[in-house]
Amino acid sequence: MNTSNYKLSANNAHLKYTDLLPYKEESKTTQEFLQKIIDILIDFVKATNDRNEKILDFHHPHDMLKLLDLKIPEKGYNLQQLINDCATTLKYQVKTGHPRFFNQLSCGLDIVSMVGEWLTATANTNMFTYEIAPVFILMENVVMTHMREIIGSNWINGDSILAPGGSISNLYAFLAARHKMFPNYKEKGIATIQGQLVMFTSDQSHYSVKSCASVCGLGTDNCLMVPSDLQGRMIPAELERLILDRKAKGHIPFFVCCTSGTTVLGSFDPINEIADICQKYGLWLHVDAAWGGGLLLSKKYRHPRLSGIERYALY
C-alpha cells in the first residue's frame, strides 16, 4: 500500500486536526481528509480479497520497528502524515479475509458490519439510557429478545446483555453464580461464605475461565480442570468424582463451565449430562459458547436446567 497514492491537496496537507470539524466550520478539508481515509480502506478490502496478494508482508519485530515511526511526538502531526500512517498500518496488517488465510478465530471483514462500526463510532454515545441513545437502546432490546426466542420459548421473558467478549462473559457468569448462591456477598463480602468455594471446567477450556478464580479471590488451585476424552470433551463421570472429592473435604462446589467449541479442537462438552450433575449437586452451569454458539443453537440443546448460554457466534 503506497502512501503516495493518498496525497491531500497542497492547501490541506500541512493542516492539523484543529483545522477539521468541529474546530473549523468550513467542511471541505474534513471531507477531503475522510475521503482519503476511505480510499485507503477500500484499497485494503480489495487487496484482502485478491488471491495474488500476500496474506502478510511479514517482518520480525526488530525489523518492523525500523519501518515504523512509533515515537510519541511533542506536537500533533499534520493531516498528510496521519493519512500516511493509516496506509502504513494496513500495509503491514494480516489480511484475515484473504481466501488463503485460515484461522479459527479471525474471519476477515464483513462490509455491512464495518459500516455499523462507522455508524456507532460516529454517534460516539454510551448505552446507559434511552435518553442518550434512543435508537440503539431499542435495537438492543429487539436483538436480545430475538436471541432468546431462538434459544426457546421459556427464555422470551428472561433477560440478557451484550458483552464485549468471551473472557468477560465468563467472568459475568462466575459473578452471577456466586451472587445466586450467596446473595449477601455484595454487602458482606467473603465473610458470608462459610467454606472454600470451588469451580470446575474442562482441561480444554479457555484460559479466561481459570483467570476468574484468580481475579475473584478463589485462587487458581480452586479451579479444578476436569479431564477430557480423546475428542477434547469434558468427561461427566470425572466431573462428578471431583465434585464429590471436594465436598468430602468440606469445600463448596458452586460453578461448572462447559465449553461449546473449544479453542484448539472445537469440541463440545456433553451439556445435558453435565446439567444433570449440576442439578444433582446444586451447582450453577455456565456454557462458554463464544466459539461455537451458532452450532450450539443448530443442535437445539433445550435442557431445562441450563442457567445460561452466554454468547453466540451468530455473524
Position 158 scores a pLDDT of 82
Exposed e or buried b per residue across 15-48, where buried means at least 16 C-beta atoms within 10 angstroms of its C-beta:
beeebbeeeeeeeebbebbeebeeebbebbbebb
Least trusted range by pLDDT, from 18-22, 63-67, 190-194, 205-209: 190-194
**Which class is 163-298 in CATH?**
alpha beta
pLDDT digits (tens, 9 = 90+) for 286-295: 999 887 765 5
Please report the pLDDT score of residue 314 as a whole number. Answer: 29
| Among the listed residues 202, 219, 162, 191, the one whose alpha carbon sits nearest the alpha carbon of residue 286 | 202
pLDDT, position 309: 40
Instruction: Look at the block and give the residue holding cell 481459570.
Output: 210
pTM for the predicted model, two decimal places: 0.78
Model confidence pLDDT, tens digit, residues 180-198 = 999 999 899 888 898 999 9
CB–CB of 240/230 below 8 Å? no
pLDDT tens digits, one per residue of 107-149: 788 899 999 999 999 999 998 999 999 999 999 999 999 988 8
Residues of CATH 3.40.640.10 domain(s) within the chain? 163-298
Residue 33 vs residues 13, 38, 208: alpha-carbon distances, Å: 9, 9, 41
Give the CA distances from residue 306 to residues 151, 155, 213, 260, 274, in Å, rounded to whole numbers and listed in that order.
11, 11, 21, 13, 10
Distance, in Å, from the CA atom of 130 to the CA atom of 119, rounded to the nearest integer, reads 18
Q: Of 226, 199, 225, whose CA–CA distance to 212 is shortest?
A: 199
Please report the pLDDT score of residue 155 as a whole number: 75
Q: What is the pLDDT of residue 159?
A: 83
In this structure, what C-alpha cell is assigned to residue 129?
439510557
Q: Assign residue 172 a region (left: φ > 0; alpha: ψ between -120 and 50; beta: otherwise).
A: alpha
Cα end-to-end distance, the chain, whole Å: 29
Fold of 3-123: Aspartate Aminotransferase, domain 1 (3.90.1150)
Please, where in the chain does CATH 3.90.1150.170 lie?
Answer: 3-123
- Please tell me the distance from the alpha carbon of residue 265 to that of residue 15, in angstroms, as a whole number: 52
By the 8 A CB rule, do 169 and 206 touch?
Answer: no
> Which own/partner contact pairs does 227-233 have at CB distance under 8 Å and 24+ positions apart?
227/203, 228/202, 228/203, 228/204, 228/267, 231/265, 231/267, 232/202, 232/204, 232/262, 232/264, 232/265, 232/266, 232/267, 233/202, 233/204, 233/267, 233/268, 233/269, 233/270
The three-class DSSP label of residue 117 is helix
Per-chain mean pLDDT for the chain: 89
Cis peptide before 270 (omega within 30 of 0): no
pLDDT band at 2 (very low <50, low <70, confident <90, very high): confident
Quick check: 312 pLDDT over 50? no
pLDDT score, position 151: 76
Instruction: State pLDDT tens for residues 47-106.
Output: 999 999 999 999 999 999 999 999 999 999 999 999 999 999 999 999 999 999 987 677
With H, G, I as helix, E, B as strand and everything else as coil, classify residue 227. coil
Host H or E run for residue 197: strand 197-202
44 Ramachandran zone, left/alpha/beta (phi>0; psi -120 to 50): alpha
Taking only the tens place, the pLDDT of each residue in 245-282 is 999 999 999 999 999 999 888 899 999 999 999 999 99
Q: Is 165 exposed, middle or buried (0-12, 13-18, 19+ CB in 10 A)?
A: exposed
Q: Which residues contact 116 (CB under 8 A, 6 or more apart)?
A: none
Contact 266, 273 (CB under 8 A): no
pLDDT, tens digit, 9 for 90 and up, residues 231-249: 999 999 999 999 999 999 9
DSSP state of 209: H
